[in-house]
Structure 1
Amino acid sequence: MEVARKIGSKIRLYSELVMFSHTLFSLPFAIISMIWAAEGFPSWRVMLWGLIALIGARNGANAFNRVVDRVFDAQNPRTAHRHLPRKLLESKEVLVFVVINYAIFIFAAGMLNPLCLILSPIAIFLISSYSYTKRFTYLSHLYLGFTIASAPIGAWFAVTGQFAFTPFILGTIVMLWIAGFDIIYGSQDIDFDRSQGLWSIPSAFGLKNGLRIAAGLHFIMVVLLIALIPIRHLSWLYITGIILAILLLMTEHKIIKPSNRKRMNVASYNLNQVISMVILFFTLGDYFLLK
């Protein structure tokens, strides 16, 4: 029982470390991409290995980011409670966790098709290098979005093994969406980023301009979601989902208050998890119920 308890405790710590619940940001768009690429449900084999690849890549990248940022996290009052600053986990064991997850990702990519296997080292480089971008560019938010955009693009490749136009539109939507709410979340750290020489859009351009840029990125995201209507021959159910997503985005920007961490978590994370699920359910409903 004691061994089982310790194992369970470790699993919980690693789940918290990589913020496993945040899979809801990328997974819905990956599912949409798979469904569209397969013109229906892909085989169970593609679904299984695609999901394993996605989880392996994001868990490895998130854990690597925690190791790279551990010194800054310890100095920032907002992040000092995280696992590495508190010594709940050691850097060496987290790096082992990173290597295992990246190995799982490469293996799963190889089980999908040759294109995914060939691209897997490039994907690892991109998702890992994000951790260093705040040290030299305020475009780090867009780079984060760019790395997460690999989910729908990779999902398409997993099904077809070929390049296409649609997954790159989905990827761009994800990039703009993630970058926008990462700017919102990062607005809490303006003073800390400036004191440490870290780069972000809020610290470079100020709070008001940073939030305007976030709103602008989300506006372009909505334009691309609308552009998918004629491209994918989508109908009223998808449009209904997009309208709901727009209302949620407007609510997100309305309730922003950097001095209120609880409100910022709702704006940056909770509402966006709902947005992704709304887009997923209405898009799948449009595809399967109205085709």
Structure 2
Amino acid sequence: MSGGNGEQGRVADAVAGHWVDRLAPRRLRPYLRLARIDRPIGWWLLLLPCWWSAALAAIRAGAPYPNPWHLALFLVGAVAMRGAGSTYNDIADRDLDAQVERTRSRPLPSGQVSPRAAAAFLVVQALIGLAVLLQFNGTAILVGMASLLPVAIYPFMKRVMPLPQAVLGLAFAWGALMGWAGAFGRLDPPALLLYAGAIAWVVGYDTIYAVQDIEDDEIAGIRSSARLFGSRLRLAVAVCYGLAVLFVALAARGAGAGLVGALGVGLFAAHLGRQVLRLRERDGRGALALFRSNRDAGLILFLALAADAVRQGWTG
């Protein structure tokens, strides 16, 4: 597939009409696609646990709002590290991606970018992420560096384990530790509970995402939670989401969140429940829409936790 124009080079599950396809210079488009800039849901899902953690830290500290500087750093870091992780994943998976309908249009398997150029682009993105990480305290830096282990091994787990989404959860939920560590220079039970909840959330929503590829994954021999759960797909996602809500609620309570925070957890739970009710085993298009809706679920929770910090700051 040629990258000669935006539509020919556009990746199958990217956002239609994205500015990458319309406005970006043509020579840059394959690299922006490699970094998933045309699929912003990825960096949103990486960012939101960071913001949850920062909001919980504000509640515990009695601050009137989450640290704006930390929120901004997490945004830049999430975009950079989502891009770096996706580039690394695509380098490792380029042969498998060529066998799957949804992924064979990606820049590496389609020949738009060479492996060597992709590796250089990976280094640039990782350096941006490192520059962001170095703005935090020493504990947060160490915690952030430790996230590289699950990131490094995840692309290979789909070859050897039936539930690779569990390793993805370890990586994508890591931000739930970062906001707390950035605020206090340590990790306390609320941060660990939030991390556990975020892991369950990731496994749930990525199982939904994997529904798109069930048939191709079966042919290519790629393992996924959607294949593992099969006819029990909705039950499995419901269990994951139930655990996510439970651990997030315990984290919020442990941090001292009040009624506004509890309401946010309830709305978060309702959103996840709606996803489960609408999930269908072989409905790939519907699964993609449900997966993307997790940005809204995560934003609801963050805004409620931030509002709880504001309320307590005013009344305290």
Fold match, TM over 0.5? yes
Aligned to 2:238: 215
Unaligned residue ranges in structure 2 (runs of 5+): 1-23
Contact preservation (8 Å) 1:17, 1:63: no
Q: How does 1:152-231 map to 2 (within 5 A)?
A: 152-205=176-229, 207-231=230-254
Instruction: Name the stretch that deviates more: 72-81 or 110-119.
Output: 110-119
Any idea what the Cα deviations from partners look like across 1:87-108, whole Å, max 9, x if unmatched?
Answer: 2333222221211222222333
Shift of 1:28: 2.6
Aligned to 2:261: 238
Contact preservation (8 Å) 1:42, 1:159: no
The answer on 1:289 being equivalent to 2:314 is no
Contact preservation (8 Å) 1:17, 1:82: no
User: In the aligned structure 1, how far is the partner of 2:69 from the partner of 2:260?
Assistant: 29
Any idea what the Cα deviations from partners look like across 1:50-80, whole Å, max 9, x if unmatched?
Answer: 4443333222112111221221111111222
Q: 1:232 to 1:199 in 2, by over 3 A?
A: same
User: In the aligned structure 2, how far is the partner of 1:163 from the partner of 1:283?
Assistant: 19
Contact preservation (8 Å) 2:80, 2:126: yes
* Aligned partner of residue 185 in structure 1, secondary structure: helix
Contact preservation (8 Å) 1:105, 1:120: no
* Aligned partner of residue 135 in structure 2, secondary structure: helix
The answer on 1:133 being equivalent to 2:157 is yes
User: In the aligned structure 1, how far is the partner of 2:210 from the partner of 2:159?
Assistant: 14
Shift of 1:261: 2.6
Q: 1:90 to 1:11 in 2, by over 3 A?
A: closer
Shift of 1:202: 2.9
Contact preservation (8 Å) 1:252, 1:267: yes
Contact preservation (8 Å) 1:183, 1:211: no
What code does the residue aligned with 2:306 have? L
User: In the aligned structure 2, how far is the partner of 1:196 from the partner of 1:152?
Assistant: 34
Q: 1:11 to 1:135 in 2, by over 3 A?
A: closer
The answer on 1:72 being equivalent to 2:92 is no
Instruction: Name the stretch that deviates more: 172-181 or 52-61.
Output: 52-61
Question: RCO (CA 8 Å, sep 6+): is it higher in 1 or 2?
Answer: 2
User: In the aligned structure 2, how far is the partner of 1:212 from the partner of 1:69?
Assistant: 29
Shift of 1:216: 0.6
Aligned to 1:5: 25
Instruction: Name the stretch that deviates more: 186-195 or 57-66.
Output: 186-195
User: In the aligned structure 1, how far is the partner of 2:99 from the partner of 2:43?
Assistant: 27
Shift of 1:290: 4.1
TM-score of the aligned structures, taking structure 1 as reference length: 0.86
Q: 1:7 to 1:155 in 2, by over 3 A?
A: farther
Q: How does 1:62-141 map to 2 (within 5 A)?
A: 62-141=86-165
User: In the aligned structure 2, how far is the partner of 1:16 from the partner of 1:57?
Assistant: 11
Any idea what the Cα deviations from partners look like across 1:143-187, whole Å, max 9, x if unmatched?
Answer: 111111111212222232222221111111111001011112213
Percent of matched pairs sharing the same residue:
18
Shift of 1:112: 1.6
More helix by proportion, 1 or 2? 1
Aligned to 2:167: 143
Unaligned residue ranges in structure 1 (runs of 5+): none
What code does the residue aligned with 2:304 have? F
Contact preservation (8 Å) 2:90, 2:108: yes
User: In the aligned structure 2, how far is the partner of 1:32 from the partner of 1:75?
Assistant: 37
RMSD of aligned Cα (Å): 2.5
